[in-house]
Structure 1
Amino acid sequence: MPDAWRLATGTLTALPVGPPRQVTRSTARAAMLLAPAAVLPLGALVAAILWLGGRADLPPLAVAFVAVGALAAGSRALHWDGLSDVADGLTASYDRERSLAVMKTGTSGPAGVVATVVVAGIQAAALTAYVDTLGLALLAGALVCLSRCALWITCCTRVPSARPGGLGDTYTRTVPLPLAALGGLLLSVTGGLVVLLLVRRTTTRFGGVTGDVFGAAIELALATTLLTWAWW
């Protein structure tokens, strides 16, 4: 369990933690299941920014964008990089190898830039609904943590790896289907459906999922769940 905790925290946050002694598939599975708990400090950070911004009577949209930026910094913007790469890969070519090569370059093309701007804008616009009270700010922080349940779906035992030997290969096919289904429910169903559609699309185009798909799933899940609860 200590190795899994260090792996989850070190991978999903910018918090300084020691490296795990060894990374096995069992460790990787436990790390994915611990993902929502591992980002509790990031959820608390977002909640604090929203609440303090509301107390200071600052413009809600400005406060929301600060929260989105702080969350990105707290995760080293790793998930945003994944979202950008997936968008570029899906629009680059219908050839699987060409798409995977584009995703591996690490640069952002037009599709990647547009995807990050649109999803970040949706997150920020949705977060304006959580600025008014402490209870709403805490709800937003909780949704940040729950958005990491997207990893339970991308790492489901039914989902193959697109790139054997890649960064995400250790984590794929590790989470049992019942837990992946539970993750979809914890994502308010709507978030789970969005992640499921992403997994289906990338599996069709790339032959499976990659570490970039994990990051894209998290950001899309967060945007969707924030919108869903704001609507409710």
Structure 2
Amino acid sequence: MRAGLALAIAMFTVVPVRASRIDRPAARVALAVVPLVGVVLGAMLGAVAAGLVAAGAPGLLGGLVAVGLGAAATRGLHLDGLADLADGLGSHGDAARTLAIMKDPGVGAFAVVWLVVVLGVQAAAFGALAERGLLVAVVGGALALGLGRAAFAWVARRGVPAASPDGLGALVAGTQPAWVAPVWAVVLGASAFPVLGRRVAVAAVLAAVVVVLVAAHARRRLGGVSGDVFGACAELAVTAGLVVLATA
């Protein structure tokens, strides 16, 4: 458990924690507990946005700063996955060509459009939550990013193969029981309910639907899942959750 938690922090944040083990058993634990990392990060980002708004900044400015700090805190890992998957799927090629495009360090038009839309929506939503006060922003951010990291467990559920024999997908694919992601959604939603009310259920369901559809489409096109699929599903789940939470 300790090795898995350390791996979750070291792999998905910039916190200088040294992972003592990088293997499938440790990765299995890391993906099971990584929603906790998302909760802490989301709460911090919500607090930053709310603090800026309280200091007189416009909500959108607070949201942009929060989203920027979130990208920096994760080394842009999930955003890179979103961009790569957008370019790959946009090519409409076979699995080999799609994977080759995803591994190309260049950025295409599909990646740019998806990054602009996703980051813009997240920033606007964080700003809207921040304008409702510190508690709402903190709990909303924690829930959204927690749901985003819970997506990892669904993408890595048992029976789903890796798209290639190397990389993050090969390390974690098939390591999670199918019930882990739904349990996290219930736990996160129940924890946020006293502050955010019934909309947490809608946020959790919409985030789950987005993840299921994107992961299924990526698996069909790639023949399995890759690290880019994990990152894309996380960012899209966060965005879906924030949209619901920010809507009055």
Q: Which TM bucket (shorter chain)?
A: over 0.9
TM-score by length of 2: 0.88
Q: CA deviation at 1:95?
A: 1.3
CA contact (8 A) 2:50 2:62 kept: no
Q: CA deviation at 1:73?
A: 0.4
Specify the code of the residue in structure 2 equivalent to 1:163.
S
CA contact (8 A) 2:147 2:207 kept: no
Aligned to 1:68: 67
CA distance in 1 between counterparts of 2:85 and 2:244 reads: 24
Matches within 5 A, 1:69-218: 69-132=68-131, 133-143=133-143, 144-183=145-184, 185=186, 186=188, 188-218=204-234
Q: CA deviation at 1:23?
A: 2.6
Aligned to 1:230: 246
The Cα offsets for residues 161-204 of structure 1, whole Å up to 9 and x where unpaired, read as 11122322111101101113334555611101101011111011
CA distance in 1 between counterparts of 2:87 and 2:232 reads: 12
CA distance in 2 between counterparts of 1:24 and 1:42 reads: 25
CA distance in 2 between counterparts of 1:156 and 1:183 reads: 14
Aligned to 1:9: 9
CA distance in 1 between counterparts of 2:75 and 2:14 reads: 6
Q: Whose helix fraction is larger, Structure 1's or Structure 2's? A: 2
3-state SS, counterpart of residue 179 of structure 2:
helix
Specify the code of the residue in structure 2 equivalent to 1:52.
G
TM-score by length of 1: 0.94
3-state SS, counterpart of residue 175 of structure 1:
coil
3-state SS, counterpart of residue 172 of structure 2:
coil
Specify the code of the residue in structure 1 equivalent to 2:67.
V
Specify the code of the residue in structure 1 equivalent to 2:168.
L
- The count of aligned residue pairs is 231
Specify the code of the residue in structure 2 equivalent to 1:75.
T
Percent identity at matched positions?
Answer: 39
CA contact (8 A) 2:206 2:240 kept: yes
**Residue segments in structure 1 that go unaligned for 5+ positions in a row:** none
